[in-house]
Structure 1
Amino acid sequence: MIGELNSKGVALKVFKKEIVYDGPYIQIWNHHFVSKTGKKGIWQVAKRKRSRNVVIVFALTQKNEVLLVKQFRIPHESMVIELPAGLTDKKGESYELAARRELLEETGYHAPEMIKIIEGPFNAGMTADKAVVYFAPDVEYKQRQKLDDSEEIEVIKISLKKIVNFITYPPKGVLIDLKILGYIPILKKRALI
């Protein structure tokens, strides 16, 4: 068997993996499995070709403002407000360097300090991507954004005191990445905010 997960008597076994779509950026795989009752099934998994890891930056300005980015996301056909983030797709680049690069490219802000706060599955039901999340206190504006041709990003600064309200009652016509709120309790628990 290729993979096995045992938890309290439950055994899910993956016995075959095959590529069903091979595009320029992603592959779609069928993972054939046997359930705990012996029933066979197929789980489709998306895999990035250049990187399977994402870095996310929860950045605070010296005025205690959270840096967010607003950009059009094609899968949602809508503007989405999220934390600065990106792929670790440069050869030999550490997670921290990728986080610094993405923050600078997307926002123009430099992080004097990067503190890794958590890592784990990014969208466990669909992909094997892992996210590594950094906290960047006291970020400083250094330069204009350096965006890819497919990126059009607006930087939004929201007071840390108002972030929960902003996410709970977002501006009309935009979606909010729900992961933003998930990092706040971790930052508080570690006495970083």
Structure 2
Amino acid sequence: MAENDGRLRDTPVQWKVVSSETPFTGNKTSVRTDRVVMPDGSAATRDYQVHPGSVAVLALDERDRVLVLNQYRHPVRHKLWEIPAGLLDVPGENPLAAARRELYEEAHVKAGDWRVLVDLYSSPGGTDEAIRIFLARGLSEADGERFAAEEEEADMEVARVPLADLVRGVLAGDLHNNCLASGVLALSAARAGGPAGLDALRPAEAPWPARPFRA
């Protein structure tokens, strides 16, 4: 609903849960079944994935190119072009620290300037996963040895693609990864948003109510 300043904001609300069970627990996520009281007093069952949360990094270089990865994703039977991303594996983990780690591990790159680009829920009808996408600029090669890639990441291709090409690919239906699509479109919108441009983006340590963290 609209607040006094005219902005729309999502509102924290919790309907009564009369029972809850976890029929499946995996390595990083689980499935929960809740019985929830509806507004008319009836109860309905809701199954959803319980997720620790994720971070992603839209890394933009001095030539206006975005660092992207090509990785196999088994559930959709595709190799997708994506931006670096990973799970918040440690409860209360600082998202910026996790994002820096993912950029290093997946691309052996570090960044000098970090901003929050956009926060989102990946699929709120089926999972509680929250994602924070960072904008990283001032890119350079990371120090030390490269991270040893395993499993799907062992076959991963890394490239740098002009931002405008990625926007066209998303709108043409050629690129489907949610973090890549949300990130490049949000970056384009931020640039068009006024004279402050990217400097108006939130600082990298901005609060994240969906996944509170230690500063």
Q: TM-score when scaled to structure 1?
A: 0.79
Residues 1:5 and 2:13 are matched in the alignment: yes
Q: Is the 1:66–1:159 Cα contact (8 Å) retained in structure 2?
A: yes
Cα distance change, pair 160–150 in 1 and its aligned pair in 2 (3 A): closer
What code does the residue aligned with 1:97 have?
A
- CA offsets 1:26-82 (integer angstroms, 9 cap, x no match): 21110111222333211111113xxx1211111101211011111001111111112
Tell me, yes or no, if the aligned pair for 1:28 and 1:47 is still in contact at 8 Å: yes
Counterpart Cα distance in 1 of 2:177 and 2:120: 21
1:15 to 2:18 alignment: yes
Q: Does residue 39 of structure 1 match 2:42?
A: yes
Deviation at 1:159, TM superposition (A): 0.9
Distance 1:106 1:100 in 2: 10
Structure 1 residues 34 and 182, CA, compared in 2 at 3 Å: closer, same or farther?
farther
Instruction: State yes or no: 1:112 paired with 2:118.
Output: no
Partner of 1:179: 182
Aligned equivalents of 1:45, 1:170: Cα separation in 2: 27
Deviations 1:132-177 (A, max 9, x none): 2211013123364542334232112111232211323466xx7443
Determine if the alignment matches structure 1 residue 29 to structure 2 residue 32: yes
AA of the residue aligned to 1:159: P
Cα displacement (A) at 1:186? 4.9
Partners of 1:74 and 1:103 in 2: CA distance: 22
**CA separation of 1:120 and 1:176: change in aligned 2, threshold 3 A:** closer
Structure 1 CA distance for aligned equivalents of residues 148 and 95 of structure 2: 19
Query: Runs of 5+ in structure 2 lacking a partner?
Result: 1-11, 200-215
Q: Secondary structure at the match of 1:97?
A: helix
Q: Which has a greater percent of strand?
A: 1
Q: Which has the higher helix share?
A: 2
Separation in structure 2 between the aligned mates of residue 120 and residue 40 of structure 1, nearest angstrom: 28
Matches within 5 A, 1:85-164: 85-90=85-90, 93-142=93-142, 144=146, 146-151=148-153, 152-164=155-167
Instruction: Report the Cα distance in structure 2 between the residues aligned to 1:184 and 1:95, rounded to whole angstroms.
Output: 19
Q: Is the 8 A contact 1:34 1:40 kept in 2?
A: yes
Cα 1:108/1:86, change in 2 over 3 Å: same
Listed as ranges, the matches of 1:42-57 within 5 Å are: 42-48=45-51, 52-57=52-57
CA contact (8 A) 2:117 2:187 kept: no
Using the alignment, how far apart are the partners of 2:64 and 2:17 within structure 1?
A: 47
Q: What is the percentage of aligned positions where both structures have the same residue?
A: 23
Distance in 2 between residues matched to 1:34 and 1:100, nearest whole Å:
41
Deviation of 1:127 (Å): 1.6
The two structures, once aligned, show a CA RMSD in angstroms of 2.6
Q: Secondary structure at the match of 1:115?
A: strand
TM-score (norm 2): 0.72
For 1:96, the aligned partner's letter is: L
